[in-house]
Chains A and B, each alone.
Chain A
């Protein structure tokens, strides 16, 4: 031993059990911060990857830039890559066709393969040679194409061009959803095509990717000023910019602000938790510190001793906390990948989040250092006399003397029992202690109230998929009722298909009611769709419509039909009268030209229109269904029909929902656990501090039930004040975060958070109950002599 601080490791080895609670608190704090920051890091990485996949790796898109300007921009030192990117028929209004199918034509430079990951070639080479083109994977499969094949492109003016296939690029969600072909050309080839037939009809962008280490917004502003580009000609990839903290979108930055507040609150919870357990640890060793002071240790030396001791605890606890946090991040990442591979496919199974580990470790160490401050000062303030006088009980005596007067003496009610009065007296005995304990309860409530805003954020940010959302739709040519009913039945029997439901549409149906005469769109529903419609029924009933005796209308403001209205429909085959049996709040379709939407049974539709077949057949697939099922369905649908493949979109939405639910409920669960742990720890420490006093009371005749009641009343006093303080501080914070996260973005007004309050109050009460049970058991199990001597 060369230094007095060398005593610390020796002491820690001997008193491992005594410091268990402190180490546990440090582990928990580091774990929490590592897990939260780690998951946030993983989520940001995943969001970044998704943003790159969905929108590309560009940061700014500049419309209609000349080649000269393009050259100047690409030469800027902070520009990593840029590509010209032109599209024709992107809105499908120009009717370019590849082999008779609607096509979107894209022209870009080879550098686009780096900027747009989905444009990456899965086979072949970039179509740099004249007369070559690349097509998407979907088109390759549909037209059974291979490298070197020739395809024809028909322009709206009737002219035709032929291209040799040089490569195939990945699937794009937009192309799949609209069932159109994607034809990729080099910029030069694209310009030849666009100059021939459709000058100025194409969208031309220069997409620029900057170095992520530069101030991207500043760079964009400089380019804008240099080339005099108006704002409307500049697009920003806000999602990607947000993932690297460079967005100027106010609502995005509000998320960062709220995340910062939450991180601060978590750190504060950690400080309070560690400080509390360290304070208790110090209180138990008052005599030891008094003895150090007797031997000549100065207060500064004692402070150094306590701080170093705390840092030594960090040495073992921080890595354990960081490791636990990392393992939790792995487990969560794996679960997210498993549950939603389309959305979280980019998430690494065993990703190491250096940010998470660094944040956990740094915040852990800083927290411990800050948390050690108060106990260290307390230890330094121990008088050397404490050791020699024999009065070092380690107890924190209530600062206020018990007046002996019952607090309810003035009231004309039965006086409370002595254990109740003593419980309240113990709680209120030391104002500082009471404040600290109440604050620790309050912090749990504040944390929960603040984090609970994320539930509302989730509900606003991610709308869940409607249960009727199909994975695939087969649409009849010209939206006529020409899809064979048998096709739906055959599809139902196909392996990998979960549900098949068809609809028939009749447009421009003459609708006449008491006060209206207009055109309506009549839609037939089958059993599945009626079942889903039940949830959106706002008036009347479905049964009459299902039985063919009525129809349903869809609410469209004040001019809507009401349940019970009598209407006459004429589809050209004769008039027929119906009663509106119910009104739906919404349906998955929108009527064109503000037509009334009417829903009837298949039999009614047949009677009215004489049509027996479907306009659209929707298909929901099993999770396990692969592309071969889709190919089979396409084969069964035939050549003339259109397909709409929404699988990618649906997966994205499902993934987003899973991700949010995991984060939000996971975090809230962890916070609730911390609250429980923190409250239990606080009560346990308070009981430890009063243990000798309880022993003395038991010695003079108080039974263990009375001691339990005393502890419970004390806990309730802390809880009551904590709840009041927590609500007083937590509700304004809840309001602030709600305003920043939700009102700013969606305009929804704040509402009183009844549900979160109920949950956290229950958690606080359960924690208090659990917190009282443990020490009570301890007191009961200890002999009176042991309790008095504090062994």
Chain B
């Protein structure tokens, strides 16, 4: 089942001599439950692609359909609401709210959506993330790996149709990187969670179902191993 469809996506920065084509006619699609990675050199346009798919940035041309909804046909307010309900973000720098503890950080997107946090669901998530013991800790009291696990929990709590992860292991040591990767794979396989992840690490990319390479704004589908559950 096709969940994400990107059609002729282009992004141009600047004008005239200083014009930069960050993305050129990028088209691809992803099925539900698929875990794809985007690789490429610095400045190749990976992050721009992720931001456009996530609705954080507006493309110059092209369309993004998520679960059949044309993301950029929505006005700013509706897009924001659609984004918070359907897309989860995981960032390299975690971006947790320092004043909130682990549990509150995870529940925060629900509160933004005026939903009452389901304690059972949060407990289950904390257990899956291995953070039950640390639920009352503030981000300052956590290691990098733990912080990223909280960020993943925060992305999962809304049960979004798509998780976009921008180098989630970029700030972590190899052990923590492995843990985070396992967690994402676990989410993909057990919850049928569609994930699009940017990474520099070829080893981590090889663990995903599919690899997309971006070079000078152009995307090439490198294929990948078949999805174990789906295949």
User: Is B truly associated with A?
Assistant: yes
Residues of A within 8 A of B (CB): 1-4, 6-7, 10-11, 13-15, 288, 291-301, 383-385, 387-390
Residue of A nearest to B94 (CB): A291
Q: Which residues of B contact A383 (CB under 8 A)?
A: 56-57
Contact A293 to B80, CB < 8 A, known contacts A7-B100, A385-B51: yes
- 8 A-B residue pairs with CB within 8 Å: A4-B111, A10-B100, A11-B97, A11-B99, A295-B89, A295-B112, A298-B81, A299-B80
A296 touches B83 (CB 8 A): yes
- State how many angstroms separate the Cβ of B144 from the closest Cβ of chain A: 17
Residue interface mask B86-102, A partner, CB < 8 A = 1: 00010101010111100
Residue of B nearest to A287 (CB): B95
A14 touches B98 (CB 8 A): yes
- State how many angstroms separate the Cβ of A466 from the closest Cβ of chain B: 68
Residues of B within 8 A of A (CB): 47, 51, 56-57, 76-77, 80-81, 83-85, 89, 91, 93, 95, 97-100, 104, 107-109, 111-113, 116, 154, 158, 166
Q: How far is the CA of A677 from the CA of B170 in the complex (A)?
A: 46
- State how many angstroms separate the Cβ of B207 from the closest Cβ of chain A: 23
B80 touches A14 (CB 8 A): no
Q: Which residues of B contact A4 (CB under 8 A)?
A: 108, 111-112
Task: Out of A13, A295, A300, A388, name the residue touching B166 (CB < 8 Å).
Answer: A388
- In addition to A3-B111, A294-B91, A296-B83, 20 A-B residue pairs with Cβ atoms within 8 Å of each other are A10-B99, A11-B97, A11-B99, A291-B95, A291-B97, A292-B112, A294-B56, A295-B89, A296-B112, A297-B84, A297-B112, A299-B76, A299-B80, A384-B56, A385-B51, A385-B56, A387-B91, A388-B51, A388-B89, A389-B47
Task: Out of B57, B108, B166, name the residue touching A7 (CB < 8 Å).
Answer: B108
B91 touches A388 (CB 8 A): yes
Q: How far is the CA of A295 from the CA of B109 in the complex (A)?
A: 6
B112 touches A294 (CB 8 A): no
Q: Which residues of B contact A301 (CB under 8 A)?
A: 112
A1 touches B56 (CB 8 A): no
Q: How far is the CA of A383 from the CA of B91 in the complex (A)?
A: 16
Q: Which residues of B contact A291 (CB under 8 A)?
A: 95, 97
Majority-rule SS of A interface residues: helix
Task: Out of B80, B93, B107, B158, name the residue touching A298 (CB < 8 Å).
Answer: B80
Contact A387 to B80, CB < 8 A, known contacts A1-B104, A294-B56: no
Residue of B nearest to A297 (CB): B112
Q: Which residues of A contact B111 (CB under 8 A)?
A: 1-4, 6
Contact A300 to B99, CB < 8 A, known contacts A7-B108, A294-B89, A295-B108: no
A14 touches B99 (CB 8 A): yes
Residue of B nearest to A291 (CB): B95
- State how many angstroms separate the Cβ of A562 from the closest Cβ of chain B: 85
Q: Which residues of A contact B57 (CB under 8 A)?
A: 383, 385
Q: How far is the CA of A301 from the CA of B84 in the complex (A)?
A: 13
A298 touches B100 (CB 8 A): no
Q: Which residues of B contact A296 (CB under 8 A)?
A: 80-81, 83-85, 109, 112-113, 158
Residue of B nearest to A385 (CB): B56
State the 4 A-B residue pairs at the shortest beta-carbon distance, nearest first.
A296-B84, A4-B111, A10-B99, A298-B80
- State how many angstroms separate the Cβ of B127 from the closest Cβ of chain A: 20
- State how many angstroms separate the Cβ of B60 from the closest Cβ of chain A: 15
Q: How far is the CA of A389 from the CA of B109 in the complex (A)?
A: 20
Q: Which residues of B contact A299 (CB under 8 A)?
A: 76-77, 80
Q: Which residues of B contact A292 (CB under 8 A)?
A: 112
- State how many angstroms separate the Cβ of A440 from the closest Cβ of chain B: 31
Residue of A nearest to B50 (CB): A388
Q: Which residues of B contact A297 (CB under 8 A)?
A: 80, 84, 112
Residue of A nearest to B97 (CB): A7
B93 touches A1 (CB 8 A): no
Q: Which residues of B contact A288 (CB under 8 A)?
A: 97
Q: Which residues of B contact A10 (CB under 8 A)?
A: 99-100
A390 touches B51 (CB 8 A): no
Q: How far is the CA of A4 from the CA of B117 in the complex (A)?
A: 11
Q: Which residues of B contact A1 (CB under 8 A)?
A: 100, 104, 107, 111
- State how many angstroms separate the Cβ of A284 from the closest Cβ of chain B: 14
Contact A295 to B56, CB < 8 A, known contacts A11-B99, A385-B51, A388-B166: no
Residue of A nearest to B98 (CB): A14
Task: Out of A2, A13, A295, name the residue touching B84 (CB < 8 Å).
Answer: A295
Q: How far is the CA of A291 from the CA of B91 in the complex (A)?
A: 10
Task: Out of A13, A298, A389, name the residue touching B77 (CB < 8 Å).
Answer: A298
Residue of B nearest to A292 (CB): B112
Q: Which residues of A contact B166 (CB under 8 A)?
A: 388
Q: Which residues of A contact B98 (CB under 8 A)?
A: 14
Residue of B nearest to A387 (CB): B95
Q: How far is the CA of A300 from the CA of B109 in the complex (A)?
A: 15
- State how many angstroms separate the Cβ of A564 from the closest Cβ of chain B: 88
Q: How far is the CA of A4 from the CA of B99 in the complex (A)?
A: 12
Q: Which residues of A contact B89 (CB under 8 A)?
A: 294-295, 388
- State how many angstroms separate the Cβ of B93 from the closest Cβ of chain A: 7
- State how many angstroms separate the Cβ of A107 from the closest Cβ of chain B: 77
- State how many angstroms separate the Cβ of A384 from the closest Cβ of chain B: 5
Q: How far is the CA of A389 from the CA of B56 in the complex (A)?
A: 11
- State how many angstroms separate the Cβ of A303 from the closest Cβ of chain B: 12
- State how many angstroms separate the Cβ of B202 from the closest Cβ of chain A: 23
Residue of B nearest to A15 (CB): B99
Q: How far is the CA of A384 from the CA of B99 in the complex (A)?
A: 20
Residue of A nearest to B79 (CB): A298
- State how many angstroms separate the Cβ of B198 from the closest Cβ of chain A: 11
Q: How far is the CA of A15 from the CA of B166 in the complex (A)?
A: 29
Q: How far is the CA of A296 from the CA of B157 in the complex (A)?
A: 13
Contact A300 to B77, CB < 8 A, known contacts A10-B100, A385-B51, A385-B56: yes
B112 touches A388 (CB 8 A): no
Q: How far is the CA of A238 from the CA of B47 in the complex (A)?
A: 76
Q: Which residues of B contact A6 (CB under 8 A)?
A: 111
